[in-house]
Amino acid sequence: MSRIGKLPIAIPAGVTVTLKDDVVTVKGPKGELSQYVNPLITVTVEGNEVIVSRSSDEKQERAFHGLYRALINNMVVGVSEGYKAELELVGVGYRVSNTGNVMELALGFTHPIFMVLPAEIKVETKTERNKNPLITLESCDKQLLGAVCAKIRSFRKPEPYKGKGVKFVGEVIRRKSGKSAGAK
């Protein structure tokens, strides 16, 4: 049996989980999320717990079991607590600013990059003197937040020689020595 899939999901106070036609809807103080669940997987709400189960031990069902349990758990945590991601711009002249949900990034290209963020994501930018600019993203949808972070990061990935680029706060970049440390 799946070690992840068999764990029950506790529903915190203020969160409601409803099931209708293979769609699980989770409502909470931070928002509302929905997820389609494959008919091979059974989702039941018992008291203040959500239980995900499967009918057989086929490989596809075992895979879906853990997947849908994790997705539903992420939705419950998202609507009750929310998710937060912090990105840091490392590099001379790298800047970021936002107007509402439109972000303007200056990442060393000849032109600024404008990115329109989805309405579900709240963005906050912070620029302090002698510190790297920070982007703080908050959302109840973990998948969407991860996709937006990956898109922002793809504009200028951290490079291993100088460490310049867009990286997560606290991320350690493996550094290379460069050609000056080569063989003599």
Give pTM, 2 decimals: 0.88
For residue 182, pLDDT over 60 is answered with: no
For residue 2, pLDDT over 70 is answered with: no
DSSP string, 3-30: TTTTSPEE--TT-EEEEETTEEEEEETT
Residues of the chain with CATH 3.90.930.12: 9-80, 83-168
pLDDT tens for 36-63 read 999 999 999 998 999 999 988 899 999 9
Residue 180's pLDDT band, with cuts at 50, 70 and 90, is confident
Confirm if 146 and 152 have CB atoms less than 8 A apart: no
Q: Which residues pair with 34 in a beta bridge?
A: 25
For residue 110, pLDDT over 80 is answered with: yes
Per the prediction, the chain carries an average pLDDT of: 91
pLDDT (0 to 100) of residue 184: 56
H-helix segments, 39-58: none
83-168: CATH topology: Outer Surface Protein A; domain 3 (3.90.930)
Of the candidates 71, 3, 84, 67, which has an alpha carbon nearest to the alpha carbon of residue 33? 71
* Burial tier of 87 (Cβ tally within 10 Å: 0-12, 13-18, 19+): buried
Q: Residues with Cβ < 8 Å from 123, sequence gap 6 or more? A: 98, 101, 103, 117, 135, 136, 137, 138
The CATH homologous superfamily to which domain 9-80 belongs is Ribosomal protein L6 (3.90.930.12)
Residue 181's pLDDT band, with cuts at 50, 70 and 90, is low
Of the candidates 20, 32, 30, which has an alpha carbon nearest to the alpha carbon of residue 80? 30
pLDDT tens for 150-162 read 999 999 999 999 9
